[in-house]
Structure 1
Amino acid sequence: MQHGKYRFIVGFLTAPLALYAIFVIWPFVQSIFYSFTNWSGLSPEFSMVGIDNYTRMVQDDVFWKSLWHSVLFAVLVPLVTIGLALFLAFMVNVGGRKRRGGPAVTGVRGSSTYKIVYFFPQVLSIVIVALLFQYIYNPKSGAINSALDAVGLGSVQPLWLGDPDLALWCVMAVVVWATVGFFVVLFSAGMASIPAELYEAALLDGAGRFTTFFKVTVPLLWDTVQSGWVYMGILALGAESFAVVQIMTVGPGGPDYSTTVMVLYVYQKAFRDGQAAYATTIGVALLVVTLAFAALVMRLGRRERLEY
């Protein structure tokens, strides 16, 4: 009987594992292999060059800029997004005042409407969001500078995406705006599973909202927060940062490489410059950064699991 069970499990997992190996593991292996060649991506012919691509990468100033920008994306965007989403979810689910005849713990008035409003950016493609904010940041006719002019601050007209000191922060703000709603809904679902008796007991003990948030909500949601942090970091290192930088910035990646991130640099080297081997080398570095980020978050966020 036991032998039959293991045969069933092996048979059930064979096809999914085979597909995963073909479409996920094998491309990683190919990328690592091509990083040791001079393949252009335009011809099937190539030759082995050893670690020349890695030596070039270490000496590439643009690569180091893109690495630094990607690290900023991976650290700051999840930090702001998760923190803001936790606050908004707490207010929507727990932060309301007690109403006469109602439960002791409730969300603010109109909480259902707020959830819809917060989640709305998720309905839009990140491409559409990037195009909308490209117009919003327009220094001549954009909504932000027009609003500054309307309130008498016409002399304060930043170039936004045209300013090397502001462009990266503007792009990161768009990623936060586009993704925070998803985590508000995610954390709201997690908070709904926390027994109301825990909040009521905290309130009876004299705990305020600040104490309740950090002593009850965050510890009981920590597994969800940790998973969300890793997920958001991977998004910030990959598709989200690529889309907004590619669409919104001059160059793209400018001005003066001030918004170039690793995933965009991979794309440019592979499809613009015809240097596929060097692009795969940067891709391997991006893989190492992503794995290191996930491992670091899981390690630093490890704590005893709470049961309730």
Structure 2
Amino acid sequence: MQHGKYRFIAGFLAVPMTLYVIFVIWPFIQSIYYSFTDWTGLSPEFKMVGFDNYSKMLDDDIFWKSLQHSVLLAIVLPLVTLGLALFFAFMLNVGGRRRKGAAIAGVRGSAFYKIAYFFPQVLSIAIVAILFQFAFDPAQGMINESLKGLGFQDVPDWLGDPQLALWCIMAVLVWCTTGFFVVLFSAGMASIPKDFYEAALLDGASRITTFFRITLPLLWDTVQSGWVYMGILALGAEGFAIVHIMSVGPGGPDYSTTVLPLYVYQTAFRDGQAGYATTIGVALLLVTLAFAAVVMRLGRRERLEF
């Protein structure tokens, strides 16, 4: 029965592993190589400069600002998004009032709410960014017009204020990503036996207690994976797209919204310093790996089964 097993497995893995190496691993290796060069990205000619790009990066104030903004996104965005998603999912599946024949039930209309929460997920991130760019417009935007209608005359320039711009962008990212995790956590909660909740309620446990003692421990693996996913999303393409479209400059004002992916893009395609841009890209890779490792380490706990 075991004869030829490993040859069979290797045969199935050969093609996907080859494609993975070519399209994923090899570009990483190329990026690390180019980070030691002065390549402009436009000319085939370049020379090795050793660690000059890395020394330049460590003395680059814009890089440190970008790193600070990216780390802030990677910490705050998952915390807020997953917190809201867990609350909404719990209310939609467990937090409703008792109804005839069901001690455990979600709020009324939970099916509609799931669709409503998930709706932003079907929109292109570019469409979302453009819509909110209009909404945050200081002169005729929906937000400021609503504030004026409520009697506020001194309305802020949301995306033009260095103190507010990044927080506005974070709010948009929370709005367009929370619905995905509401649906994901709802699916996880639906698989938890109702007997657990009913037994806890009979013992006098409150809804808050059942959340922290039953729901969260049994969903912990999903929450941990969601945290890593949200961090990678904030450090990657989605964070870049929102900032590039919505912010002034982009990346402004005064580099107050510049994140590492945007700085890589600007350095490579605006400034013609592809070698230096790949150096920043290597730093972004290390930050992403470190973030994932820290989350997986801090979130490690004994696996619960039911």
* Equivalent in the alignment of 1:113: 112
The structural deviation recorded for 1:240 is: 1.3
Identity %: 75
SS in 2 for 1:3: coil
**C-alpha distance after superposition, 1:132-180 (max 9, x if no partner):** 000010011111111111011123x000000000000000110000000
1:27 has 2:37 as partner: no
The structural deviation recorded for 1:3 is: 3.2
* Equivalent in the alignment of 2:172: 174
* Equivalent in the alignment of 2:258: 260
**C-alpha distance after superposition, 1:236-286 (max 9, x if no partner):** 001111011000011100000000000000000011111000000000000
Aligned ranges for residues 59-208 of structure 1 at < 5 Å? 59-100=59-100, 102-155=101-154, 157-208=155-206
Measured on the aligned residues, the alpha-carbon RMSD in Å equals 0.6
The TM-score with structure 1 as length reference comes to 0.99
1:277 has 2:275 as partner: yes
Q: 1:138 & 1:215 partners in 2: Cα distance?
A: 44
Moved over 4 A (4+): none
Q: 2:50 & 2:193 partners in 1: Cα distance?
A: 59
Q: 1:244 & 1:270 partners in 2: Cα distance?
A: 19
**C-alpha distance after superposition, 1:26-65 (max 9, x if no partner):** 0000000000000000011110000000000000000000
AA aligned opposite 2:42: L
**C-alpha distance after superposition, 1:184-234 (max 9, x if no partner):** 000000000000000001101111111111111000000000001000110
1:231 has 2:229 as partner: yes
Q: 1:205 & 1:94 partners in 2: Cα distance?
A: 17
Q: 1:111 & 1:3 partners in 2: Cα distance?
A: 53
Q: 1:307 & 1:242 partners in 2: Cα distance?
A: 38
AA aligned opposite 1:127: A
* Equivalent in the alignment of 1:217: 215
Unaligned stretches of 5+ residues in structure 1: none
Q: 2:238 & 2:14 partners in 1: Cα distance?
A: 33
* Equivalent in the alignment of 2:296: 298
Q: 1:136 & 1:38 partners in 2: Cα distance?
A: 42
AA aligned opposite 2:112: T
Q: 1:104 & 1:64 partners in 2: Cα distance?
A: 53
* Equivalent in the alignment of 2:47: 47
